Amino acid sequence: MSETIEILPYSPRWPEEFREIARELEAAAGAYALAIDHIGSTSVPGLAAKDVIDVQLTVASLDAPLQPALELLGYERKLHLKDHRPPGRDDLAEDELEKHFYFKKNRRVNLHIRVAGKFNQRYPLLCRDYLRTHPHAAQAYGVVKQQLAKYFPDNADAYYDIKDPVFDILMEGAYIWADKKA
């Protein structure tokens, strides 16, 4: 049974919830946690989103023994171990997309564990920062998600098959923005 996709208006409670989640993760992960970041749409003020807090836990290695501590917090491991490869990015080595993924049901949390410096670790941070500094792009992205949820509320495959390439287009602007900042 698939989950209904519902896009909600931005909630100011999302950053507060992230801070509580991050405190728990920091205590559980200890020195293995190089960084704990709020990512995804709930991390962008004003952006409509699914009511799911996305968190990135950055580690030095995916071999960090975190699973027992995360399970004690109520996280379940999902076997999806690779991130989306943007079209045309055949240059990316497979390890640039590897991750561990956990989810929590009682307060919907997606926990992405990624290795510091890898493409997939930098990508969501650039995305978040770009959308935070480009509110018109964020609003347009929000409309795309709302329309997709309207047309495909019970079809996650269709929702993501369209949303991901739209997002890849948006990220091309983010790369240009980041290069100009550097």
Mean pLDDT of 136-155: 97
Other residues' Cβ atoms within 10 Å of the Cβ of residue 99 = 20
Q: What is the pTM of this model?
A: 0.94
pLDDT tops 90 at residue 1? no
Q: What is the mean pLDDT of residues 123-128?
A: 97
Alpha-carbon torsion angle 136, 53, 108, 28, nearest 10: 170
